[in-house]
A and B are shown apart, each in its own frame.
Chain A
């Protein structure tokens, strides 16, 4: 055991350098005013009207994206589960394939597609439909989020549903359950751990993203991620940026705790 612990040492340094120190410095900046004294104003700044609006919109868009991802991923995971072994590997490969491309590049591709002079509008024009304003809308941002984060929903759900013993599903039918009841009473409850980690892995990056909203929202739609980013980069106000980040962290921890309530099977807690 002692020998094994020694191998963990590099990881402990990594945690200290990559997690503990940044957290402490964000906490320090968050509670410090520009003049150097202790203050709550950076935290309370979240309750300013435009910040609250951005937070509300972020929560809404992240929520919608998560729901759409879940609605797409669960059936996909079930299809993967049912498919034959050789085919399974190929399908998973196809799902992961876009992740091999750079995240910015993928999002930029949607710009090209959605623009006023873009690919989709050209197609519309060609068949005589009016050009649509698709860029710089909340819809475009949700689309980008779903596109970028969908694999993170499919993989954990697939991982749990693929481990559900087929005998359990057969037992459900054997005991007289319909297909619908088999889903609601057996398959979905057993998939909860995967659903919970899928939701966490989509909702949290969607809530804090600023790249997708920058590229597909054209700077016109401000999410809370954009505001925090601007405080750090444009306004060079690390204090306010850190304060807002701390509030976001509270939201994220709260949502994770809420999710864990559903995961009765327990075992691997996320926090």
Chain B
């Protein structure tokens, strides 16, 4: 897959706040890339810079090998589906979809055919003459998609397009978006703060926080091997624990030693303090006394498919989050076990002083 968009050390400041702190990103042709992060992490600003609505203070934007940093939005082969859809309220559905073709003076017959094609693609045949305020949120979202794709862009930027929809519709639209992307065969750059959306749809997920890219990878990589506590915490539920390597491939958490698969080769020599992530579904429940550690269940919630339990460990202060298909009662004493490959060892985030020292070197 050839590279379509490349960001090179993008820096963006609003007044004195640094919003983007040297973003490097590469998006390949026909890829579904999701920028994921909490609000204020800089994901929308990144998208706006690619769309041409903001100019970066430093760094360059490349599109298909050409530098487009200074190219105005209306000349880029990029279209955007805005968060609030931004449909023109004074035009009907057909006129909205026709907008990009009319400003390019395309022939009326061509426009008519294209509107039909686009409406069919988003499953809204025959909606040409509806007024925008007659549409539901989900329909408006589809029209915004239709309007953005008739222009045949090579990249579609989607700024939290499902954010305003209810849960059921949101899940339907996720399938719909993946289908659309396959049919159109174009690149999608998607923005969301919803980790589930990011994991289900994307080829590549880019986790952002505070103007930095935290981690980049396939959904599986991001979920299974988070590089730091922020990513682990943001993607799915997890137990994030303080630990220390006490021997080669052995980590001590809460007074108990667990074998794990990371050692000196991965940068975790004995003696080093580390962060440890254990996913709640990876903790196996055993009869009391037969596991690696014991605890008492202090709360239980039924979450549809599974039960979610909080377990107070016998060794110390830690409350473990567990997910299990079997039911156990509050107050029950249980044993627990974690397989070595399910223990994810991560570097402790550096304190500011430490990062500064590293920069000086």
Instruction: Please list the residues of chain A having a beta carbon within 8 angstroms of any beta carbon in chain B.
Output: 165, 167-168, 170-178, 181, 185-186, 189-190, 264-265
Q: Does B135 contact A (CB under 8 A)?
A: no
- Judging by beta carbons under 8 Å apart, are B88 and A168 in contact? yes
**The residue from B83, B90, B103 contacting A175, defined by CB atoms under 8 A apart:** B103
Chain B 314-333 interface residues, beta-carbon cutoff 8 Å to A: none
With A171-B80, A173-B52, A264-B90 known, 12 other A-B pairs at CB within 8 A are A165-B84, A168-B86, A171-B88, A174-B73, A174-B80, A175-B74, A175-B79, A175-B99, A175-B147, A178-B74, A189-B90, A190-B89
List B contacts of A181 (CB < 8 A): 103
Within the complex, the shortest CB–CB distance from A171 to chain B, in Å, comes to 4
Q: Which residues of B contact A189 (CB under 8 A)?
A: 90
| Contact A173 B86, CB 8 Å, known A178-B103, A185-B103 | no
CB distance from B308 to the nearest CB of A (A): 39
Task: Known A172-B99, A174-B73, A176-B74; judge A165-B90 contact (CB<8 A).
Answer: no
B140 close to chain A: CB less than 8 A:
no
Q: Is the CB of A174 within 8 A of B79?
A: yes
Question: Residue of A at shortest CB range from B150?
Answer: A175
Q: Are A175 and B82 CB-contacts (below 8 A) given A185-B103, A189-B90?
A: no
B279 smallest CB distance to A (angstroms): 39
Most buried by B among A168, A176, A177, A190: A176
Nearest chain-A residue to B103 (Cβ)?
A177
Number of A-B contacts (CB under 8 A): 67
Cβ-defined contact, B89 with A177, below 8 A? no
Q: Is the CB of B74 within 8 A of A185?
A: no
Q: A185-B99, A189-B90, A264-B90 are in contact. Are A175 and B84 (CB under 8 A)?
A: no
- Some 9 contacts from A to B, beta carbons below 8 A apart, are A167-B84, A170-B51, A171-B88, A174-B53, A174-B79, A175-B74, A176-B103, A177-B99, A185-B99
Contact between chains at B73 and A170 (CB < 8 Å) = yes
State which of A167, A174, A190, A264 has its C-beta within 8 Å of the C-beta of B74: A174
CA distance A200 to B79 in the complex (A): 39
CB distance from B78 to the nearest CB of A (A): 8
CA distance A175 to B87 in the complex (A): 11
**Digit string of B66-105 for contact with A (CB within 8 Å is 1, else 0)?**
0000001111001110111011111000000001101110
Which A-chain residue is minimally distant from B76 (CB atoms)?
A: A174
Minimum CB–CB distance from A49 to chain B (whole Å) comes to 45
Q: Tell me the smallest distance from the CB of A179 to a CB of chain B, in Å.
A: 8
By a CB distance below 8 angstroms, the chain A residues around B104 are 176
CB distance from B230 to the nearest CB of A (A): 30
Is B218 engaged at the interface, CB distance under 8 Å to the other chain? no
Chain B contacts for A265, CB-based, 8 A: 89-90
Shortest C-beta distance, B309 to chain A (Å), equals 45
Report Cα–Cα, A167/B82, bound state, in Å.
7
Contacts of A165 in B (CB 8 A): 84, 86
A170-B82 in contact given A175-B147, A181-B103, A190-B90 (Cβ < 8 Å): yes
Decide if B296 is an interface residue (CB 8 Å cutoff). no
A251 and B328 CA atoms in complex are apart in Å by 84
